[in-house]
Amino acid sequence: MFGYVRPRRDLLEQGGFDAYRHAYCGLCRALGKMYGFRARFLVNYDMTFLYLLRASVRCPGEAAPCWCPARVCGRKSCTLDSQGFAPVTACTVILSYEKLRDNIRDESFLRSLPYRLLFRLFRRAYRKAARAYPDFAALCEEQLSALHGLEENASPSIDATADTFARIVSGCVGDIQDSNLRRPMEQVLYHTGRFLYLADALDDLKEDCEKDAYNPLRYRFFPSDGALSSEDLTYLTELTDSSVNLAGAALSLLPVRAYGKLLENIVFLGLPSVFCAVKAGKFQAKESLWQKKKTINDHTGEKR
């Protein structure tokens, strides 16, 4: 996935960050238990946010020491919540598999060989996840097909392309029966999905211009040397700010019982900080959250 949905580590209380870390490690553990060891490599910040959102309206699992293959001592605290992680792991596998399919489609045969290998390795896991959540798997195929059509026609519409991806993200809670919970969650995820798409488009703009690959920002703004003008960047920032505000408004409609401050930190502080880093060309998708590091100020872009 993208790795853009993460908390502001420096503005998060220690207890809140511990809860985030436990959920992240719990997702990793659940992926391994449900879809095999290699599925652990699919764990990401974005799907951790999905778990926190879903678990916020129910009683989340307790944290307990678990075996961790990435630690020398082999033990790490993680959230134990098999029922809560089941739909999140399925969405993670399905989305990752579709991402591999998309990479194969976009690259030449030789460049796509690593993706083709991974595509085969995760085929069984994908089929298992698709059987468990067929509606979400069908939604992904439908919306990605629509997105590919827009890409083939070099669509300059930011709204149309971002909408197709946002619909996929909002579908991650389509299995929730209580409409009073599902509808606000869908709106949180829809607007977070729009943010994700726009942030990723800006992050990849220079590379896409060099490769002559599709990027809606290329056809909407006509960037120079892979960079947007200050006016265009201001307009794009307003769009992402609107998505953040709408996601936050939908979050306030949920009867949050757990992870409330953590979710607010991610939406209102984490997302703007990430976009600031993307604009400054300093975003690193693989940057570790486990250590305190310099971050980007939400408004000025200066280091704090």
- Contacts of residues 97-106 at CB distance under 8 Å and 24 or more positions apart, as own/partner, are 97/122, 97/123, 97/125, 97/126, 97/129, 98/140, 98/141, 98/144, 99/1, 102/144, 105/148, 106/213
Is there a domain that residue 4 lies in?
no
pLDDT over threshold 50, residue 300: no
For residue range 61-114, what is the model confidence (pLDDT) as tens digits?
Answer: 889 999 888 876 778 899 999 999 999 999 999 999 999 999 898 888 898 999
The three-state secondary structure class of 42 is: helix
Average confidence (pLDDT) over 3-12: 92
Q: Rounded to whole angstroms, how far apart are CA atoms 256 and 258?
A: 6
Is there a domain that residue 290 lies in?
no
Question: What is the count of structural domains for the chain?
Answer: 1
Is there a domain that residue 295 lies in?
no
Average confidence (pLDDT) over 2-27: 91
Per cent of the chain over pLDDT 70 is 93
Is there a domain that residue 304 lies in?
no
Give the length of the chain.
304
* Residue scoring higher pLDDT (76 or 146): 146
For residue 131, give the H/E element and its range: helix 123-132
What pLDDT sits at residue 76? 87
Q: Residue 304: which pLDDT band, with cuts at 50, 70 and 90? A: very low
CATH of the domain at 63: 1.10.600.10
Neighbour-count burial of 174, counting CB atoms closer than 10 A to its CB (0-12 exposed, 13-18 middle, 19+ buried): middle
What pLDDT sits at residue 299? 42
Q: Which range of residues forms the domain containing residue 147?
A: 9-279
Is there a domain that residue 288 lies in?
no
What pLDDT sits at residue 105? 87
Is there a domain that residue 90 lies in?
yes
Is there a domain that residue 292 lies in?
no
Q: Residue 295: which pLDDT band, with cuts at 50, 70 and 90? A: very low
What is the residue type of 64? A
Is there a domain that residue 205 lies in?
yes
Residue whose C-alpha is closest to residue 263's, from 85, 47, 3, 6: 6
Q: Rounded to whole angstroms, how far apart are CA atoms 133 and 131?
A: 6
Q: Cα 97 vs. chain centroid, distance in angstroms?
A: 14
The set of residues, in sequence order, having a beta carbon less than 8 Å from that of 304 and lying 6+ positions away, is: 10, 294, 295, 296, 297
